[in-house]
Structure 1
Amino acid sequence: MSDIIVNRLADIDPQVADLAEPIVQRWTAAMTRVAAAHKQQGFMPNPPVNGSIEDILAKRFNDPAFPQVKRDRAADEAIRFAASPFLKRRTGLTAADLQSSTPVDQLVGLPTARLTRQQLSAMVDNRPGIPNFGGGVAAALPGTLRSLDLEIIRVVCIDETNGPFGTERGQDEIYIGGVALNSEVEVGKVGPTKMGDFDDIGSRRQKDFNPDLRLYSHDLTKDTVFPSSYFVTLVMFEKDQGNLNDTVNEIVNKVKDDAITYLSALIGTGTGSLAGPLGALVGLAVGYIVGKVIKGLVSAWEDDPFLPVTIEVHVPSSSANAGGPPSKVMNFTGPGEYAVRYQWKLRKIQGGFAPA
């Protein structure tokens, strides 16, 4: 039996980034539009279409917890950006486009050229440490595994979140949530789950979970193909950040929905059974796009979310072993910094866990 492989996504294939860029452009255009409308009428449909990118971002921009001084600065910068040639280069749009009543979902089109089997495999195969799908997957055989569990072992506060004027807020009430995707492009919700109350000094600096805290569980008995990759994009938030958590969760879910629709259409039905590579492509793209969007909020609006983290686990078969190392650490940075030690566990149908 083969072991599972755990991976923390960082760099992705440039082809995947190029493919995902049009969705990033939509969010960049919407950030500009929402901020500019704060000081100059006509920059956004009023009211924005429910569930649109503009609607998601406007709820955050107009949240009372988002400081007025940041709104004003973001609006001034957005108006300057909209009047510059950089808008066209970054989004493909003009200021006149942003001042129309058309949502950015319709203003920024997505490529329609079909991907071949070879192109798809080239984007998701040959990643360091992850075996190739070999162009496809095989039907699952009866196995010994019941579930794949993501567990939190320890959370350490390296630097608590900042309050007004760069001062520390006091005690952080920290949560983690997110979205999970598997190779069959099935979606699962992660949390949000409270990690605890933290300070960067004293007894509240570190929390060890005993037993380990199960953050997410996937039923492996329902999977129909292996090998399979599972991607989890996680977001950390502090309770005092207003509706920032709701905004980030809406961003993740909107990006996930758009990526699935867009990339599935590029694959079509003529390329055979590509559930494994297609699911991996969607998982990679969602992690990349969400990261770019959140970084855009930090840069353009001076907002202070934690940067999201995407992790992957590759399960070669329905009877795989857990393998090693037993645990890894992911770091969340932004208004503060936290280190989170986690592990994947394979729960067996007959009880207990698959050996490491």
Structure 2
Amino acid sequence: MGVSERRFGVLTGDGIGPEIVPAAVAIADAAAAAELIQIDWQELPFGLSAIASHGDPVPAQTLSALDGLGFWIVGPHDSAAYPPGHGDRTPGATLRTRYELFANLRPARAFTGVPALRPDIDVLIVRENTEGFYADRNMAAGSGEFMPTPDVALAVGLVTRAASERIARVACAAAIERAGSGRRPQLTIVHKANVLRMTTGLFRDACRDVAAEFPEIEVSEQHVDAMAALLVRRPADFDVLVTENLFGDVLSDLAGELAGSLGIAGSVNSSESRVMAQATHGAAPDIAGRGIANPVAMIASVAMGFRRHGQMTDDAALVAAGARIDAAVADTLAHTATRDLGGDATTAEFAAAVVRRVAEH
């Protein structure tokens, strides 16, 4: 059997991006090669360096290239450091909107070797990524936040049945996929319908309707405040959580910290045909260039992206490459840690250790 080629994108980003993204790419290449895949990485202008070279953090050249790609890696962006006129809309918002990346999948699980507040946590938060209360996601033009007077600020929350049903289907599929031998798939609908009756009530009802089409799934629901408490108290009772944008953002950060650190929390943003691998953490400019950044979240995001894009395209080899990365990362964390996790490995040293273990899986 010969080697087959895939063409994917790389947007390195700001801050620690030039350290963690190349680390993730090297590991992705090793895992792909083990599955007889050769990746043609398209490096595209993005972030602060793209402002310097093209006058835009996400230039037309980058968007034109991404139009022809089904998978890409995105490093963190530091919009706060952009010159005036370039930070009003984040690069992530530009990409999410253009490609309708409506599903944000954020797993949180504890690893052997990583001190965790809840070693029994292993959940997947499925977050609706296009609506809610975030100001850049709920108006066709302008912001969803506005001030009728200098002393009064208002925000519009957007929830539609179509978007709620769409994310519920992703969550149901994930619950079925994650179910282990002898265990029923589990889905928890997270809302605040006791207070936000029309908006999150609509979200809850749409998710209920979709979940009813999957009788094999055990469905429950929680108010978001109770869900936060339960994640702290007994996370092992939960598997897949589906929720709206703001709630999903908050709960995923909480879950990541309960598992040990946001530095190990992978994430993908997905449509029905495209996947963007992007870690949940920021650009960490305070440690940029020092070689000490934790690359695990970026690596885990690429692994998840490989699996999801592979499933979308019936690419078993790519799915297998993603599984190789996951296994290699888990093995490495059991023995090696970067400074933030209590160890002394540099970014490059940790990545090299993962590469060595990729071949073993």
TM over 0.5: no
TM superposition score normalised by structure 1 = 0.25
More helix by share: 2
TM superposition score normalised by structure 2 = 0.25
Q: Which has the higher contact order (CA 8 A, sep 6+)?
A: 1
